[in-house]
Every structure is written in C-alpha cells, then in structure tokens.
Amino acid sequence: MIRPTAGTANGDGNGDTPTLATLRRIAREQLAEAGSESPAADADALLAHALGRDRSFFLAHPEYAPTPQELAAFRQSLARRRAGEPVAHLLGWRGFWTLELRVTADTLIPRPETELLVEAALARLDCRHPARVLDLGTGSGAIALALADECPAWRLTAVEASQAALAVARDNAQRLALTDRVQLVHGAWYAPVAGQRFDLIVSNPPYVGEQEPELTEGDVRFEPRSALTAGTDGLDDLRVIINEAPGHLTARGWLLVEHGYRQGAAVRALFTGAGFASVATLQDLAGHDRVTLGRQPR
C-alpha cells in the first residue's frame, strides 16, 4: 500500500500530497514486488479508475496532486491488487472484442484467447444472413454479445448454469442494447434448448483438470471453480457439448469450442468420434492449440 511517508508517496518529502508521477512510480514498484506480470498497466488502470480519468491525463499532468478521496480510493484498490485480486474485479469491467463488459466474482473474466473463437465464428457464417447461434456457458455474455453486436441479422441463445453469472450477462445485454438479439436462458448445456437446432454452436466451457496447479496461481484463484474445472482431465464438459451437438445443429452447421493448449488432439478425437467433418484446430496468438471446430455432415 502506498503510505504517505516523507520521501516516498509524499513525493519530495516535504509533506505535500504525492503527485501522479510519484504515485505511478511507487505503485509500479510495489506491484512488481507483489508479483504482478503487468505492474505498469495495472497501476495505470487502478489510478485511472480512482481518478475517473484516462491515461492521457497522467501523461499531460504528471504534477497533478489527487484529492484525499481519490488518493484513498487508489490506495484501497492498490492494496487489494497487491493481495492478488484481479484488476477486472477491482475495476468491475473488462474489455472484450469491441465491448466493455461488467464482470464480477460470479463470472469468468473474459480472456483475449476467447476472441479467437469469436473471430473463427465470424469467418464461418455470413454476418449479413439470418442465422441461429447458440453460446453454451455464456458467463458475462462475452461471446454471445460480441457476435450479436457484429451481426445484427443473427439471433443468439446463450445458456448459463449459474444464476449469478446470468444476472451479469443480462445486465451487459441491457447496457449494450442487445436484448432483442440475445436470449439469455438458465440451465445445463442443451437442456434449455431441447428440440431446437442452430446453424452455429460456440462454447468456451470449463476445461481445466481439477488438480491442475494453475488453479492456485494468478486471477483464477478469484474466479468461480464452476467456471473453470471439468473433471480430472478437464474434458468432462467438452465431451457432453461435442457428443450432443449433432442433435442441435442444422445440416452443415458448425460447432466451435475453446479448450486448453494441451487438449487439441483429444478434442479433435471427440469431434471425429461424434461424426463431425472438416475437423481442425486453430492456434492462439501464442501459437497454442486453442479452438477446435467441425461441421455437421449433410
């Protein structure tokens, strides 16, 4: 936590309120020490939030001395970040695709890797033509809302098992004025859409093995376990989603799923076993297997 002691957070040690430049420097140092992988970006995001200003203000006014209220808000969020809380939880939102989404401790924090799933979906169906699209495990609504925003002609159904996450998705859909394109429904995987077929099914389901060490590191420690884990090998939910997809796809319809970087071969085998054609895995920006897709035969 930044403490107003002489020569540190008090800037020049003369008892004045610390300037923005001083606060940024000290916050970066403290966050780096606390193990943040992006101390500069974290410090600026928290400072921008506390001040209600954007980063260009810091650059233009390094000498600005925050008010006591701004300083208190910043100190509080900095202390929580140093204790490991995700920046997205402290800000209450996360950017995804072209949208700003509200996120809470009840939702997964949308990841940049998941934008590959959005991109791959947009590459497979023509945005200009009406289509029925299903998003399984919508969380904050990230994938469904991004697709609905890009393609006004599409009609999305988004399923979520957590009522608390669904409330956040509803809030996002309302704020983004997308409620007429996205129907948000509560339930387990295909149960709420029994008897319905879709041109495209997308899902970023839980896919981490229950004993994986990554569950004890970074932001995931603060995210709902039910959004992350799926049995010992992480594939329990993917098995259900892939095996039951043919009964919910139109002829030539597509299924696209996100998965862990070591699960590409296993997920392709599940697609093939379920009778899918054109099965392929796409790599994320880090070059890791991330999204596998397949097409329902005629």
Ligand X SMILES: C[S@@+](CC[C@H](N)C(=O)[O-])C[C@H]1O[C@@H](n2cnc3c(N)ncnc32)[C@H](O)[C@@H]1O
Q: Is 173 in the site for ligand X (CB under 6 A)?
A: no
CB atoms within 10 A of CB 282: 17
Contacts of 203 (CB under 8 A, 6+ apart): 135, 136, 137, 241, 256, 257, 258
Q: Which of 161, 167, 266, 279 binds ligand X (CB under 6 A)?
A: 161
* 140 annotated ligand binder: yes
Work out how close the CB of 161 gets to ligand X at its nearest, in angstroms, rounded to a whole number. Answer: 4
Q: Is 114 in the site for ligand X (CB under 6 A)?
A: yes
CA contacts within 13 A on the Cβ side of 162: 23
Q: Which of 200, 227, 245, 270 binds ligand X (CB under 6 A)?
A: 227
- DSSP letter string, 33-82: HTT-S-HHHHHHHHHHHHHT--HHHHHH-TT----HHHHHHHHHHHHHHH
Q: Is 226 in the site for ligand X (CB under 6 A)?
A: yes
Phi/psi of residue 108, nearest 5 degrees: -65, 145
* 141 annotated ligand binder: yes
* 138 annotated ligand binder: yes
* 207 annotated ligand binder: yes
Q: Is 86 in the site for ligand X (CB under 6 A)?
A: no
Q: Is 30 in the site for ligand X (CB under 6 A)?
A: no
100 bridge partner residues: 95
Contacts with ligand X in 178-197 (CB under 6 A)?
Answer: 188-189
Binding region for S-adenosyl-L-methionine: 137-141, 160, 189, 204
Where along the sequence are the contacts to ligand X (CB under 6 A)?
108, 110, 114, 137-140, 142-143, 159-162, 165, 188-189, 204-206, 226-227
